[in-house]
């Protein structure tokens, strides 16, 4: 019988995914603790091949990556002989950027005999399709979303980020290495002189996968905390690419958006 292992990083996504799977094996990268879960197995990148063997011994046939991680610092003293042979390939990928690193990680798991599935494959309910989930979208919001989608596509093409903030056609911030929370906090303290008149449109936060991204891994994620941060930043709502973004606890996201007067829009 097929058994799934969740390769877990930090945050709430691993637990949300585990809740809809049948007794998955929870595997945590050293230094990362998934919220609300106790890992069954820990591992380090320097001992990747022994980790593959441990997955085989546990009857794992499918793996799913879930949760936030950063590129780890590798300790040469910890490499076992088999994993050491992968070092040139891993280092070359890490130097080429996040997308290249993730592609190589997926390739290594597949070469070891595991099927790599995405959150959308195993838990499609976490990846909403098109539709307005809360609030009302104006023609100004539609124009801002179109502008934001073009910006995110350009950012993603050079492996920079998956989100931006646009108000009345002006880009107020883009997402980079510090992430969504840092970007929205930056927008919240922008001087009013740098922001357009909110009476003509408060703007929006937009999120989407990078163009050409392997959607089995590193899909962008939104949650109730994102809604709170968008409200604190003075925005009118959140838009995202339908079918391309994970929403953690969508009912709570909708409840908070309604309370704050924000829209939530999964954009086709």
Confirm if 173 and 234 have CB atoms less than 8 A apart: no
Confirm if 99 and 217 have CB atoms less than 8 A apart: no
CATH assignment of 4-122? Answer: 3.40.50.20
CATH assignment of 127-267? Answer: 3.40.140.80
**Main-chain dihedrals φ then ψ at residue 75, nearest 5 degrees:** -105, 110
- Residue ranges matching CATH 3.40.140.80 in the chain: 127-267
- Whole-prediction pTM: 0.89
Sign for the pseudo-dihedral over CA of 105, 106, 107, 108: positive
pLDDT values of the chain reduced to their tens digit, one per residue, 268 residues:
579 999 999 999 999 999 999 999 999 988 888 999 999 999 998 999 999 999 999 999 999 999 988 777 888 899 999 999 998 898 888 887 777 788 898 999 999 999 999 999 999 999 999 999 999 999 999 999 999 999 999 999 888 989 999 999 999 999 998 999 999 999 999 998 899 999 999 999 999 999 988 889 889 999 999 999 999 999 999 999 999 999 999 999 999 999 999 999 999 9
């Amino acid at each position: 019988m097929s058994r799934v292992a969740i390769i877990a990083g930090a945050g709430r996504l691993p637990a949300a995914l585990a809740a809809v799977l049948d007794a998955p094996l929870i595997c945590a990268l050293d230094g990362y603790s998934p919220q609300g879960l106790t890992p069954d197995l820990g591992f380090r990148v320097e001992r990747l091949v022994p980790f593959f063997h441990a997955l085989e011994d546990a009857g794992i046939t499918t793996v799913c990556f879930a949760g936030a991680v950063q590129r780890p610092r590798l300790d040469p003293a910890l490499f076992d002989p088999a994993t050491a042979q992968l070092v040139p390939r891993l280092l070359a990928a890490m130097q080429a950027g996040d997308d290249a690193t993730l592609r190589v990680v997926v390739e290594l798991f597949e070469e070891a005999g595991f099927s790599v599935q995405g959150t959308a494959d195993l838990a499609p309910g976490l990846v909403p399709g098109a539709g307005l989930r809360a609030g009302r979208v104006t023609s100004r919001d539609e124009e801002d979303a179109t502008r934001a989608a073009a910006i995110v596509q350009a950012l993603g093409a050079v492996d920079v980020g998956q989100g931006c903030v646009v108000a009345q056609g002006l880009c107020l911030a883009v997402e980079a290495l510090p992430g969504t929370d840092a970007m929205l906090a930056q927008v919240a303290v922008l001087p009013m002189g740098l922001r357009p008149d909110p009476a003509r449109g408060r703007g929006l936060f937009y999120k989407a996968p990078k163009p050409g991204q392997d959607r089995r891994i590193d899909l962008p994620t939104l949650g109730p905390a994102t809604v709170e941060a968008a409200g604190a930043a003075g925005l009118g709502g959140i838009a995202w690419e339908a079918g391309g973004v994970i929403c953690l606890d969508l009912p709570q996201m909708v409840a908070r958006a309604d309370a704050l007067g924000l829209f939530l829009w999964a954009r086709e």
